[in-house]
Amino acid sequence: MAGVTVVSAESVDVVTTAQIKSNLRIASNDSTHDTQIEICRDASISVAKEYLQKSLMNRTLKLSLDNIPFSDSILPNQEGITTGPFLEYRQRSVNLPFSPLVSVSSVKTFDDSDNETTMASSRYYVDTASDYGRLVLRTGETWDDMLRVANAIEITYVAGYGSIATSVPAGIRQGIIVLASHYFENPDMVIKGEGNSVIPTLVNSLWKPFRNTRFGIGLG
């Protein structure tokens, strides 16, 4: 199993209430609906991250893995597992979800006694150019062995387009504004939790060029 948790969230919002009010043609000095608009904005940002499989503003995430998956190209037979160094058959890279990847802060492993070991950064390469950022073992390196059965590996990393809202592509930001406006005009969608399954055509068109469609944990 694998899971991603947020260690440190974005410091500012990618779109503002004022931008959504302008799209809805609500006067900037009319605060009557501000609370509802903020709810719609937050819901739209959450939908954008899940739909796009992206981080927007820079944030710190932690990927927890039970182990490193076996390689698709070299599958060890029973003899190899029993008598050989089976870790050599493990995949040498791990895709890090919710790109764009900025940096890797740490890679930690835990043995059966829950002792923590931090891998030296010289043992791996951080690939920020791929659609999903990757952590790749350098030549001659192998994953630590004798790890505990669950949550044996923790990779902490920073992902996002940047630390200011304008770092995020305009198409993504405009899609959030349009979706938040749509939710405001159709409040039952937010209350019933239908937002993830109903993406307006215009929003889909704005977001489609940026969408990661391949789930990336451990498939590198």
Of 39-53, 66-80, 83-97, which has the strongest mean pLDDT?
39-53
Which pLDDT belongs to residue 71? 64
Q: Is the pLDDT of residue 199 over 90?
A: no
Which pLDDT belongs to residue 91? 82
Would you call 51 helix, strand, or coil by DSSP? Answer: helix
Which pLDDT belongs to residue 189? 65
Are the C-beta atoms of residues 13 and 166 closer than 8 Å to each other? no
List the chain domain ranges: 14-55+167-210, 59-159
Mean pLDDT of the region 134-158:
91
| Mean per-residue pLDDT of the chain | 85
161 Cβ contact partners less than 8 Å away, ≥ 6 residues apart: 55, 56, 57, 58, 100, 167, 168, 169
Residue in the structure block whose two tokens are 């937010």: 190
Q: Is the pLDDT of residue 114 over 80?
A: yes
Q: Is the pLDDT of residue 5 over 50?
A: yes
